[in-house]
Amino acid sequence: MKILVCISNVPDTTTKITFTGDNTQFNTAGVQYIVNPYDEIALSRAIELCEGGKGTVTVINVGESQTEPTIRKALAIGADEAVRINAAPRDAYFTAYQIAEYAKTADFDMILCGRESIDYNGAQVAAMIGEFLGIPSISIIKKLEYDGSTATLEREIEGGKEVISVSGKFVASCSEGTAEPKIPNMRGIMSARTKPLSVADAKEIEQLSSILHFETPPPRGTVKLVPAEETAKLVDLLHNEAKVI
Amino acid sequence: MSVLVYVEQVEGKFKKSVFEAVSYAKAVADQQNTNLTAISIGNVAESELKTLGQYGASRVLNVGSEQLQQFVNQAYASVIAEAAQKEGAAIVVLSNSFSGKGLAPRIAVKLRAGLADGVTSLPKTDNGFTVTRTAFSGKAFATVSLTSAVKVISLSPNAFGVKESPADAIIENFTPDVKESDFSAVVKDIVRATDKVSLPDAEIVVSGGRGLKGPENWGMIEELAALLGAATACSKPVSDADWRPHSEHVGQTGIAISPNLYIAIGISGAIQHLAGVSSSKVIVVINKDPEAPFFKVADYGIVGDAFEVVPKLIEAVKAHKA
């Protein structure tokens, strides 16, 4: 079994988000980068499925050379090899196209992504890869079992879940519940240095969208405190002032 | 040229998020001086399809074919893209629901269309075609320019609201070309808790954190939520400890929500939690620690022990309703 896991290099979850260049660019100064937390869940599930010599896990990242520490982290967690497509990701369409083109060169049984990246929050790449490859895509799964030929997945839906069965190749985007994120151990960190990390060139594709600028949400006014015994006053404020109940 | 909106049905009915997507798509169509067509897939009664007219759909394409009764991501995406092409739609609008998130990217690739998801504003057309969407898990907004001929917009729930714009919707049957290869993923089972309000599109959310001390204390959270017609949610430590299911976890690595009212009980307000809830219109925080960071972003707050405050708040809501 061969599994391809797509990983994104994102700012640490505690990062204070600021912008430079007249709010056109994310301010990367002093920012720590991590493997996108949802991608880490996808990677952890892939490693579990391949445990005991049942298969190999390849991680793929579309990024420039500065994403390599993040890719090494994925190798330390337990991926067998890595590929970096050497390009700054322009949008999800570009990224998904690069991954799909790479996937065509190797016979992967499944491609796993995180449900979304925590920076641009597009939940687009997984389903786009599926469309580029003409295979099913299941978005926002919380469970994945695989018996060697058929996968059973649970997908989140409003107020419940849907159980889906797929025979043949597929793409899925993973959310919490799919696996417990694995933490790299010392042996993993040591071996990550020597695991294969190849670099491939990006392929050209038209650009369909671009981010023009960012803004941070307007600051909220000061909190209006209500004494603990005056819950009726709170209800009154929510009804008459905020008009939300 | 027209605007096409996909209207997702659940057991033959449309939810509020669908009426919101139709309202939004109608406003987009008005901007473009064109008409709004809706597409519905699956078994929906004509009377239900007619309700879409209330929000501005002048035509409804009804795909009732037997094979498409149940949601299959790949097949539904093909049907919507085919309809968009036949209609000559320049803009396709969906609701950014769980299913919408799986459909929009596939439709965008099929139509070579730029996609903006989690959109929170109407398009601006003075400088090309731009929309605003959330980024960095609600810590920022991004203005995205879509430069393709056809555009796909996936609307964030509660961002636009439901707006009436009565039209008489003409219902037409639409028979798509279905490809067998689109059906290799098979739905085996659907489990839906119908008695609970769904979290992503809830207008009011009542959320509990570690301050509640254990899963046995969630009765009052559920009671308050039921009284307000709200969905229940929780912080990450709570779902990590399995006090509540992962599907209730809101925050940066859980679900990002934007209800009209978010009531946080016993949650201190870590930056990762705030990221997922900061687009809520009104935030109420109940916490015994006056220094809790959540108070800095709250609109209303009560400093006090949840176990004393929440039962009193339940009484106050009951009195208000009476």
> Is the Cα torsion angle A115, A121, A124, A129 positive or negative in sign?
negative
Kind of pairing between the strands at B114-119 and B151-155: parallel
Q: How far apart are CA B48 and CA A206, in angstroms?
A: 41
Q: How far apart are CA A160 and CA B170, in angstroms?
A: 33
* B118 phi and psi angles, rounded to 5 deg: 65, 35
Distance from CA of A186 to the nearest CA of B (A): 25
Average pLDDT over residues B58-86: 96
Across the interface, of A16, A137, A142, the residue whose CB is closest to B73 is A137
Across the interface, of A38, A134, A208, the residue whose CB is closest to B113 is A208
Residue B194 has pLDDT above 80, yes or no: no
Residue A116 has pLDDT above 80, yes or no: yes
- Whether chain A has a CB inside 8 Å of the CB on B142: the answer is yes
Distance from CA of A114 to the nearest CA of B (A): 11
DSSP characters for B108-135?
Answer: HHHHT-EEEEEE-S--B-TTSSEEEEEE
Residue B262 has pLDDT above 80, yes or no: yes
Superfamily of segment(s) B204-321:
TPP-binding domain (3.40.50.1220)
Q: How far apart are CA A98 and CA A84, in angstroms?
A: 10
Distance from CA of B169 to the nearest CA of A (A): 27
DSSP characters for B181-237?
Answer: GGG-EEEEEEEE-TTS--STT-SEEEEE-GGG-SGGGGHHHHHHHHHHT-EEEE-HH
Contact A238 B198 (CB under 8 A): no
CB A18 within 8 A of CB A24: no
- Please name the residue of chain B whose CA is at the shortest distance from the CA of residue A39: B253
Residue B189 has pLDDT above 90, yes or no: yes
Which residues between 151 and 180 in chain B have a beta carbon less than 8 angstroms from any beta carbon of chain A?
A: none
> What's the pLDDT tens digit per position in B81-130?
999 999 999 999 999 999 999 999 999 999 999 999 999 999 999 889 99
Mean pLDDT estimate for chain A: 95
Q: How far apart are CA B261 and CA B259, in angstroms?
A: 5
Q: How far apart are CA A212 and CA B124, in angstroms?
A: 13
> What's the pLDDT tens digit per position in B139-151?
899 999 999 999 9
Q: Is A166 helix (H, G, I), strand (E, B) or coil?
A: strand
The kind and range of the H/E element at B35 are: none
Query: B253: number of CA atoms within 13 Å, CB side?
Result: 27
The angle subtended at Cα A202 by Cα A200 and Cα A206, nearest 5°, is: 170
Among A187, A180, A37, smallest CA distance to B242 is for: A180
Among B254, B200, B317, B34, smallest CA distance to A234 is for: B317
Q: Is B170 helix (H, G, I), strand (E, B) or coil?
A: strand
Q: Which amino acid is at B302?
A: I
Size of interface A-B (CB pairs under 8 A): 281
Look-up: residue for tokens 């972003």?
B297
CB A35 within 8 A of CB A61: no
Determine which of B8, B101, B186, B279 to mutate to test the interface with A (most A C-beta atoms within 10 Å).
B101
The angle subtended at Cα B104 by Cα B134 and Cα A71, nearest 5°, is: 65
Tabulate helix, strand, coil % of chain A (nearest 5). 25, 30, 40
ipTM strictly over 0.90? yes
The kind and range of the H/E element at A55 are: none
Q: Which amino acid is at A34?
A: I
Q: Where are the domains of chain A?
A: 2-201
Q: Which amino acid is at B140?
A: A
Q: How far apart are CA B247 and CA A156, in angstroms?
A: 8
Q: Where are the domains of chain B?
A: 2-183, 204-321
Residue B149's Cβ-count burial label (10 Å; 0-12, 13-18, 19+) is: exposed
Contact B145 A137 (CB under 8 A): no
Residue A82 has pLDDT above 70, yes or no: yes
Contact A209 B135 (CB under 8 A): no
Residue A63 has pLDDT above 70, yes or no: yes
E-strand stretches of chain B: 2-7, 9-10, 13-14, 36-41, 59-63, 89-95, 114-119, 130-135, 140-146, 151-155, 170-173, 185-192, 204-208, 231-234, 261-265, 282-287, 300-303
Q: Would you state the pLDDT for residue B128?
A: 93
Mean pLDDT estimate for chain B: 95
* Of B41-45, B136-140, B219-223, B303-307, minimum mean pLDDT range: B136-140
* B53 phi and psi angles, rounded to 5 deg: -60, -35
Q: Which amino acid is at B310?
A: V
Contact B98 A139 (CB under 8 A): yes
What would the CATH number be for the domain defined by A2-201?
3.40.50.620
In angstroms, the first-to-last Cα distance of chain A is: 54
CATH 2.30.110.10, applies to B2-183: no
Distance from CA of A90 to the nearest CA of B (A): 12
Distance from CA of B203 to the nearest CA of A (A): 9
Q: How far apart are CA A210 and CA B128, in angstroms?
A: 12
